[in-house]
Structure 1
């Protein structure tokens, strides 16, 4: 799995052939095929491992603090830490070239939903509360986009500064939301 993570993270799904993974792992193709039905099955297993790491880090971050702004900062930091400390992982989870493959697309969408669920839980809101879900979806998307842009741009500012800018943007937007929206959006 480590070899596959390295190869898929470096080359991407489509540019990787099983020989690359076997060479990196120093095993034969029959050994790999004994555990995985093919390249897509192996890729999904690798993505699953990295997705679980991201979702777990988000859940831990959200549970580690009390208060909305502190939780937001912890979750934002967790996302930036994920892209910073796990460069191959974030490419597989946030920038997968195999996102057009239906099983990969479904798994990546489910990972985002898992993070949205974690944010809803931290907000003490049920997952069927549309307004809370909409806010959580926006936050997860903003954290993911900001962290990805930061790392893809070559980390142009200190991570702490990037986290604070992202938190400020998100928090500023949240504090301007009406407490009780009108029933018809007007």
Structure 2
């Protein structure tokens, strides 16, 4: 219980002040414990930050998985996954700041922890795109590389949109999810039907 209390305080401080500016004194004060107790439980600032990343990455991944019902069509699964993603990042802005901004800008091992979470979400989206292709009535002739690229692009767009939505007053999780779903599924729908965009000869 105390450790979770310290992690809650650390996520708030790291998310709002950044890893370098955050101090163990601030974290201990916000958690309502002594500074030596923070070190006793979590050893160092680096270990504390790593513990925050692992906890918040696991929570985000679990929120996305829990939001999806695999018995539904692929487009509904994608919508539910996006809605769960944006709802979680909206409800936990400090945690998203830790994962999306702080962890990525301070090198290893922090970046590796976030990369593992991102790979899990990309694999999830990759599966949805592949399922959608199988469900299509026409053979879309999507290669594995195309499916993988689409998954990477969609996750990257979701990450950027979540950061923008959290910084923009009035933008709800549902609005952000709908924006990306409309953008993504219109293009994916064409691909599922075998309609590929290609540059004209003068543009090639």
TM category, shorter? 0.7 to 0.9
The one of 9, 12, 34 aligned to 1:3: 9
Aligned length: 180
For residues 129-167 of structure 1, the C-alpha deviation after alignment (integer angstroms, 9 at most, x for no partner) is: 433222211111112211221121223x44433321211
The one of 136, 140, 147 aligned to 2:151: 136
Q: How much has 1:171 moved relative to structure 2?
A: 0.6
For residues 33-73 of structure 1, the C-alpha deviation after alignment (integer angstroms, 9 at most, x for no partner) is: 12223111101101111111111112222335621211121
Q: What residue ranges of structure 2 are gaps of 5+ in the alignment?
A: 1-6, 132-143, 197-203
- After superposition, the Cα gap between the structure-2 partners of 1:27 and 1:158, relative to the gap in structure 1 and judged at 3 Å, is closer
Task: Establish whether residue 163 from structure 1 lines up as the match of residue 177 from structure 2.
Answer: yes
The one of 93, 114, 124 aligned to 2:120: 114
Q: Which residue of 1 aligns with 2:3?
A: none
- After superposition, the Cα gap between the structure-2 partners of 1:50 and 1:100, relative to the gap in structure 1 and judged at 3 Å, is same
The one of 129, 140, 146 aligned to 2:161: 146
C-alpha distance in 1, partners of 2:104/2:150?
A: 28
- After superposition, the Cα gap between the structure-2 partners of 1:97 and 1:108, relative to the gap in structure 1 and judged at 3 Å, is closer
- After superposition, the Cα gap between the structure-2 partners of 1:119 and 1:63, relative to the gap in structure 1 and judged at 3 Å, is farther
Q: Comparing 5-14 with 46-55, which one deviates more in the overlay?
A: 5-14
C-alpha distance in 2, partners of 1:45/1:16?
A: 15
TM-score, normalising length: structure 2: 0.77
The one of 100, 116, 141 aligned to 1:94: 100
TM-score, normalising length: structure 1: 0.84
Q: Which residue of 2 aligns with 1:104?
A: 110
Structure number with larger C-alpha Rg = 2
Describe the SS at the equivalent of 2:106.
coil
Contact kept in structure 1, 2:103 and 2:111, CA below 8 Å:
no
Q: Which residue of 1 aligns with 2:34?
A: 28
Q: Which residue of 1 aligns with 2:201?
A: none
C-alpha distance in 1, partners of 2:52/2:102?
A: 12
Contact kept in structure 1, 2:130 and 2:147, CA below 8 Å:
no
For residues 83-122 of structure 1, the C-alpha deviation after alignment (integer angstroms, 9 at most, x for no partner) is: 2111211111122266232111111111110101122334
- After superposition, the Cα gap between the structure-2 partners of 1:93 and 1:109, relative to the gap in structure 1 and judged at 3 Å, is same
